[in-house]
Structure 1
């Protein structure tokens, strides 16, 4: 199937190239990179950044049957997504997106429209207003419980990525469905569902459909597995929605689902956008789980890996935490309202997000009308890829950009914006929650434990060569040494 697809792709790409040359003959388009198999390159964000040496920060390349525009600098990304946000707010409707979103478009993958704006407003309100009084206490509580579980494994190698994954899934479960879901059964069901769905969606059997759509008519075991994962996803979410509708009290909400179910029927300020239905709440829940579990867990894992390589930074962080929270694993509250009281921790999180933005190429945008970037014409309907990781490694903005140096964010007046969560109309809705989790979990973890490498080499800081949407890392283990108490057979200085 792959060989047939490549042969057909070559023929169609040639025909498409000739058509585009004629169609856009009068426009000043960005330069075109040669070739059309760019997706096969390992470390794709770094490869795309390398092309800027010859082509500049804005260029086109062929991905399958279409040309896409790649933005590789902070300046070009902000020009497109902030200053010209209306022009670049669309989302291409690729086969895999349509499959994952059926029958209602979700927020991450949905195209720009008035209905999409209303959907976004409802979900954002649920996150920032519906649970504003419970978010911080819940994250604190579940993180404390997480640290107690880790204390029971002190001194033994821990697969910390899996532990972070379950923690972030537990947080999303409780915020979305209420305290009643603290039972491990439901959390495990959602966790396994997200894992299976992401693994299925990122398989090359599915990714190739977005490049050569007609291959969906050929036998595809990956497509069958994805459909099964989607059916399981919808079954779990629908059950929770039914239970909420049966027990809901009008005018009161226990969690985000209650808030969204009661808010979907309220009149909106903008007319003509259509009506929000229960299916939109369904897809908001899906977005919260897909976008709010593995992404945050992966960022936490990268932070641990970097600190294992830089024990001097870890020691300074612990000194800062001891000064602010008191020595040892005390019960002092993390200063959530004033993160400036923990400046090094805030800077370390920013540096991890800069070096390892978990979605390094964001999700592709689509121009809603003719626009321009740096004087180049960008026609309506163009697919645009913001290379966030490339922008974070721009040596015209960042000094020694490949080095892990949290102190760069401690210098007053020299703090460029980190784009890890995107920007503009498509900025990640879960950014406030993700930043809260990163701050609380790392503060509690480093206050209670010293991160120690297991026997053998340190974890690799290189991402997996051929990753999907997320910038994943090689699995690794860490030993957690309780601070102020040494586990049997474990030295704090090992």
Structure 2
């Protein structure tokens, strides 16, 4: 009887909340409302949301559970909110899944905006740009070289390239975050397995539905139990690394990002009222770097291979550019990332893959920190805002032939529109410099050493993402043959 009563009470509570919310907003000029409750269950969600602009314009509202969300579908609306009015839109909604994932730790990616969050972001960004500035490219090069030595043993045989890329990017971010000891302790596979596990559980409907109907957390949920177990495993791994780093720390020196952050967190904050950074901030910075630095870059590399299998003429031109600038793979010649302008077509190809398949196509949702407005529409304080990055990249008022894979658009005279694949404003992806370095190095090495071929005649990968939406825009599983290129 109690269970039945709760089920009857739930819709009454939902209706009351909706009516109260509408009454409070009665005097505001809000974006148009797209009717319906099931929009977010649509396949190919970013493209579907872009399609709604034909009727409602580039900014509109959707109902998500007991609240409304605002969707931004154009470059202009996204940059207006996230860049020009970034203070108003820098918040993060405190959804139940976010609280479960952070387990009380101060999270960077999922944390709400505050002066302490700003200091946390600065600490992590400094670790990437200053703490490992001199070792980042060296580590990427070294691990990429080892990666290709493994691939050569599988030459001409079908390879599940996504898994290979994923392990490579996980190895790189583990080395940069935790140092060489991660290999000595043979922990890279453990971290890799954990990242795969947490991403799978996080995207499962049993977790995502809790953000729409939080009350369901009080009911039995095997997915929730698995998430909690995975987070406990995560914290055990990271705490072990923290203990070792503290015990072996040498003042004024740092071997990796964790060393750097542990020393920097103790310094007084310049901004008054920001509060003190604690060890928990370093803990969650490491977690965010591991998750953000593994699947996103690996997925972009996989999309690049898929597009080049469909466009062998682009692949041939890329190899001609590499041969002209570097010689064959046997020559051992390499171009530094700072000299990447020597490979304009490679840069254009990376930009085009990021445009068509931004890995986090709807970013992570933002929240307004105060009443604001976008192009004449009022956006109330506390509103959840979703920037449709992929929709902005497919806007035919900005991009010529937006659905076509055409890297040459970035080689035309004049300044090309900005690709928003890493977001923009206060919440821009902190790992963008590392991701761009990895994309450049891995693709250049790959195309210098191998010709990419389908596993069988006509067996091309699908260029449509996995149909139902997850945080990352995942490529459907495929294989590729890596044919070694001739010497000389």
> What is the TM-score when the length of structure 2 is the normalising length?
0.97
What's the CA shift string for 1:23-43, capped at 9, x where partnerless? 111100000000111121111
Q: 1:167 to 1:6 in 2, by over 3 A?
A: farther
- Tell me the secondary structure at the aligned position of residue 185 of structure 1: coil
- Contact persistence 1:329–1:447 (CA under 8 A): no
Report the CA distance between 1:213 and its aligned residue.
0.4
Q: 1:461 to 1:184 in 2, by over 3 A?
A: farther
- Tell me the distance in 2 between the aligned counterparts of 1:196 and 1:5: 33
- Tell me the distance in 2 between the aligned counterparts of 1:12 and 1:473: 40
- Contact persistence 2:269–2:275 (CA under 8 A): no
- Contact persistence 1:68–1:385 (CA under 8 A): yes
Report the CA distance between 1:7 and its aligned residue.
8.0
**What does residue range 64-463 of structure 1 map to in structure 2 within 5 Å?**
64-183=65-184, 185-455=186-456, 457-463=459-465
- Contact persistence 1:37–1:64 (CA under 8 A): no
Q: 1:412 to 1:183 in 2, by over 3 A?
A: farther
Q: 1:454 to 1:212 in 2, by over 3 A?
A: same
Q: What is the aligned partner in structure 1 of residue 484 from structure 2?
A: 482
- Tell me the secondary structure at the aligned position of residue 274 of structure 1: coil
- Tell me the secondary structure at the aligned position of residue 28 of structure 1: coil
Report the CA distance between 1:13 and its aligned residue.
4.4
- Tell me the distance in 2 between the aligned counterparts of 1:14 and 1:237: 43
- In structure 2, runs of 5+ residues without a counterpart are none
Report the CA distance between 1:11 and its aligned residue.
4.8
What's the CA shift string for 1:221-280, capped at 9, x where partnerless? 000000000001000011111111111111111100000011111011101111111011
- In structure 1, runs of 5+ residues without a counterpart are 487-494
- Tell me the secondary structure at the aligned position of residue 377 of structure 1: strand
- Tell me the distance in 2 between the aligned counterparts of 1:264 and 1:41: 44
Aligned-residue CA RMSD (Å)? 1.7
- Contact persistence 1:335–1:341 (CA under 8 A): no
- Tell me the distance in 1 between the aligned counterparts of 2:168 and 2:297: 10
Q: What is the aligned partner in structure 2 of residue 37 from structure 1?
A: 38
- Tell me the distance in 2 between the aligned counterparts of 1:117 and 1:126: 14
Report the CA distance between 1:406 and its aligned residue.
0.3
Q: 1:184 to 1:248 in 2, by over 3 A?
A: closer
Q: What is the aligned partner in structure 2 of residue 490 from structure 1?
A: none
**What does residue range 21-60 of structure 1 map to in structure 2 within 5 Å?**
21-60=22-61
Q: What is the aligned partner in structure 2 of residue 491 from structure 1?
A: none
Q: 1:184 to 1:325 in 2, by over 3 A?
A: farther
- Contact persistence 2:348–2:411 (CA under 8 A): yes
- Tell me the distance in 2 between the aligned counterparts of 1:319 and 1:13: 61
Q: 1:195 to 1:412 in 2, by over 3 A?
A: same
- Tell me the distance in 2 between the aligned counterparts of 1:226 and 1:354: 32
Report the CA distance between 1:18 and its aligned residue.
2.1
What's the CA shift string for 1:287-306, capped at 9, x where partnerless? 00010100000000000000
- Tell me the distance in 1 between the aligned counterparts of 2:5 and 2:423: 37
- The count of corresponding residues between Structure 1 and Structure 2 is 484
- Tell me the distance in 2 between the aligned counterparts of 1:81 and 1:409: 24
- Tell me the distance in 1 between the aligned counterparts of 2:202 and 2:140: 29
- Tell me the distance in 2 between the aligned counterparts of 1:4 and 1:42: 34
Instruction: Give the stretch that moved more between structures: 60-69 or 182-191.
Output: 182-191
Report the CA distance between 1:206 and its aligned residue.
0.3
- Tell me the distance in 2 between the aligned counterparts of 1:73 and 1:437: 28
- Contact persistence 1:329–1:483 (CA under 8 A): no
- Tell me the distance in 1 between the aligned counterparts of 2:219 and 2:295: 31
> What is the TM-score when the length of structure 1 is the normalising length?
0.96
Instruction: Give the stretch that moved more between structures: 136-145 or 343-352.
Output: 136-145
- Tell me the secondary structure at the aligned position of residue 338 of structure 1: helix
- Tell me the distance in 1 between the aligned counterparts of 2:9 and 2:98: 23
Report the CA distance between 1:44 and its aligned residue.
0.7
- Tell me the distance in 2 between the aligned counterparts of 1:371 and 1:140: 45
- Tell me the secondary structure at the aligned position of residue 87 of structure 1: helix
Q: 1:8 to 1:47 in 2, by over 3 A?
A: farther
- Tell me the distance in 2 between the aligned counterparts of 1:140 and 1:51: 44
- Tell me the secondary structure at the aligned position of residue 86 of structure 1: helix
Q: 1:460 to 1:11 in 2, by over 3 A?
A: farther
- Tell me the distance in 1 between the aligned counterparts of 2:328 and 2:99: 52
Q: What is the aligned partner in structure 2 of residue 489 from structure 1?
A: none
- Contact persistence 1:13–1:66 (CA under 8 A): no
- Tell me the distance in 1 between the aligned counterparts of 2:39 and 2:335: 45
